Amino acid sequence: MNFANSRGSQHRGPPVCLPYATDPERLHLSLGGPARMRFSHLSSRVRRDSIVLVAFAAVAGFHLLAVALSHVLPLNAPSVSFLAVLRGLEWRHIFRPDFLVQALMLLPAAALIVIYTLSTSRHVRIGCALTGWLLPLFVLWDGVPEIGRWFMAIPRAFSYTYDSLAGRGGGQFYVDGPMLFAAVGWWLLLCFVLTLREVVFRSRHETAA
């Protein structure tokens, strides 16, 4: 009897197959799958909310343009066309301390829009929209005492923007801040639309589902 062969056969067994441990490509795919899914979900949310990002960029650009145009005309200048005011805009009107300060004041609004776009929680998105309503009161103005101006911002946004485009604005119009007030109105209108989108339309969609 061959004890050596008998002893060796007791220790031999079927080969162990580890397809995922020995296949580097499949291992990479199995580990990278969740990351790709998260990235795909994030990119789809950004595409879906791209109109929100474009709208905020337009409001922020309007705000910064109003700051720059406030230095183009003297205070006692007569009414001129909007294109004439734009032609008078120079780089020195942009690289001013007040322009940079106003640009920094847009950062809280930008942060809210980014959180709103990336968040998957309906409550967080509603909170961002409602917080946006209060930003002008406490970032640009003096808080609760300015509540009267706050209520008038949205209707004034339409009238002041029309006056500017129609050539009804003069030096006092651009220097004293109606254009900035119009920018606040457009921001509040954006927050109003976002609030309706989350509170009313999404609620109906969830009810229907």
* Residue pair 69/85 in contact by the 8 Å Cβ criterion: yes
- Check whether 207 has a pLDDT greater than 80: no
Q: What is the pLDDT of residues 47-104, one digit of tens each?
A: 778 899 999 999 999 999 999 999 899 989 999 999 999 999 888 888 888 888 888 9
DSSP string, 109-177: HHHHHHHHHH---HHHHHHHHHHHHHHIIIIIS-SGGGHHHHHHHHHHHHHHHHHHHTT---HHHHHSS
Q: Decide which of 32 and 156 is more confident.
A: 156
- Check whether 33 has a pLDDT greater than 80: no
- Check whether 1 has a pLDDT greater than 50: no
Which residues does 193 contact at the CB level (< 8 Å), separation at least 6?
Answer: none
Q: Decide which of 118 and 18 is more confident.
A: 118
Q: What's the pLDDT at 151?
A: 85
Q: What is the mean pLDDT of residues 182-193?
A: 94
- Check whether 31 has a pLDDT greater than 50: no
* Residue pair 156/185 in contact by the 8 Å Cβ criterion: yes
Q: What's the pLDDT at 85?
A: 92
Q: What is the largest CA-CA distance in the chain?
A: 119
Q: What's the pLDDT at 9?
A: 45
Q: What's the pLDDT at 95?
A: 82
Q: Which amino acid is at 165?
A: L
Q: What is the pLDDT of residues 138-174, one digit of tens each?
A: 877 776 667 788 889 999 999 999 999 999 999 899 9
Give the long-range contacts of residues 74-78, CB within 8 A, separation 24 or more.
74/171, 74/175, 75/171, 75/172, 75/175, 75/176, 76/171, 76/172, 77/170, 77/171, 78/170, 78/171
Q: What is the mean pLDDT of residues 125-146?
A: 83
Q: What's the pLDDT at 25?
A: 45
Q: What is the mean pLDDT of residues 181-198?
A: 93
* Residue pair 108/181 in contact by the 8 Å Cβ criterion: no
| Domain ranges (residues) in the chain | 51-208
Query: CA 193 to CA 53: how far, in whole Å?
Result: 13
Mean pLDDT, rounded, of the chain: 79
Q: Decide which of 143 and 193 is more confident.
A: 193
Q: Decide which of 38 and 198 is more confident.
A: 198
Q: Decide which of 185 and 136 is more confident.
A: 185
* Residue pair 182/161 in contact by the 8 Å Cβ criterion: yes
Query: CA 9 to CA 92: how far, in whole Å?
Result: 90
Q: Could you tell me which of 51, 85, 47, 45 has the C-alpha nearest to residue 68?
A: 85
- Check whether 10 has a pLDDT greater than 60: no
Looking at the chain, the whole-number percentage of residues with pLDDT higher than 70 is 72
Q: What's the pLDDT at 146?
A: 74
Distances (CA, A) of 19 to 16, 24, 25, 27, 161: 9, 9, 10, 9, 66
